[in-house]
Amino acid sequence: MDIHEHQAKDLLKRFGMPVPDGGIAFAPEQAMHEARKLGFPVVVKAQVHAGGRGAAGGVKLCQSEAEVSAFALSLLGRNLVTKQTDAGGKPVHRLLVEQATDIGKELYLGLVLDRKSERIMIVASREGGMEIEDLAEEQPDALIRMVIDPAVGLAPFQSRELAFGLGMAGAQVAQFATVLRACYRAFRDQDATMVEINPLVITGSGDLVALDAKMSFDTNALFRRPEVAALRDPGQEDPREDAAAEHGLSYVGLEGDIGCIINGAGLAMATMDMIQLAGGQPANFLDIGGGASAERVVAAFRTVLSDPNVSVILVNIFAGINRCDWVAAGVVQAYRDLNLTLPVVVRLAGTNVEEGRQIIIESGLPLLSADTLAEAAATAVAARPRMAA
């Protein structure tokens, strides 16, 4: 789960992170009020769950109330399209109005969960203010990486070593230790999966300030972090994912036209790879999970069909906990209840596979069957021209 910049700053501030003074506005009048309290100049930032806001026109340095009002009017209630969003962008419902900062130097600091080492990894660089992916590709040697041993935690020598690596000296080393400790404690104590300060700036007076902040959290741990769960903004999320979650489905929308209904994350990934290998593009990742009832299968069909780009549906089930006859009954029910006309390819394997195939055959519906994953993917790709025709 992601949260907004202002929420991440509020959380990190409680752990000792220095951040600029600021306030939240949901209307132009509120934005002007916050700006008056802070004093000009101020920086006004669109609050969306996406990076690249500055390049997309979502951040502006304002010198007057008139500028703040005009900029707020241009953003609130509209969608902001950045390089990290799709063509539809993300809706802007709130703005962060902050005191302008005298920037002397921009740095990068991030903590991520490194699954390879099963440790928290610190990533830092003297080159801040740019996307870490671009920096890693263009200047890989500019990144400093350090792993935190979970049995020891963040050691003081690590803070000093990183500070020296970032070119700091004197009082800045102690300030950086405070910044890094705030990031680590927030990461550890709130079950985060990522904390990113980009940029971490050295001001003209030599102080460290987090000018931007991002945090992501382990969704599976939210049950024990109600204060973090309360920060969720459903307006920034795909409504299809929320609808799918209500039925115990794992759904992620993609940009293709072949809808996928599959059980098991690994099988889903393999199926999407096979679709691409066959020359198609998957429209989604959807895992119906174990013990799928006919009702859950129908819900999966509804979720997939909520994407107007879908022209074919591929159902790929390898039944273990599931049963092929349950899934087949759900496919037949969905086809009839939803009055489907687009092609549906069904590949069944595993528990009660013969019973499942018999249900498909006896339904009398124009369902396309396949015995192997490769055949199912090829059949789904081949069905698209017939649909277009």
- Identify the residue whose tokens are 């132009």: 28
327 Cβ contact partners less than 8 Å away, ≥ 6 residues apart: 263, 288, 292, 297, 315, 317, 319, 348, 356
Active site residue 251: no
Q: How far apart are CA 122 and CA 211, in angstroms?
A: 18
Active-site entry in 34, 184, 196, 335: 196
One-character DSSP codes across 166-221? TT--THHHHHHHHHHHHHHHHHHHTTEEEEEEEEEEEETTS-EEES--EEEE-GGG
Residue 306's alpha-carbon distances to 272, 292, 299, 350, 381, in angstroms, are: 19, 20, 11, 29, 20
**If you ran DSSP here, which 8-state letter would residue 367 be given?**
P
**Cβ distance 292 to 258 under 8 Å?**
no
Sequence-distant (≥ 6) Cβ neighbours of residue 282 within 8 angstroms: 254, 256, 258, 259, 260, 271, 272, 275, 276
| 108 catalytic residue (yes or no) | yes
Active-site positions? 108, 196
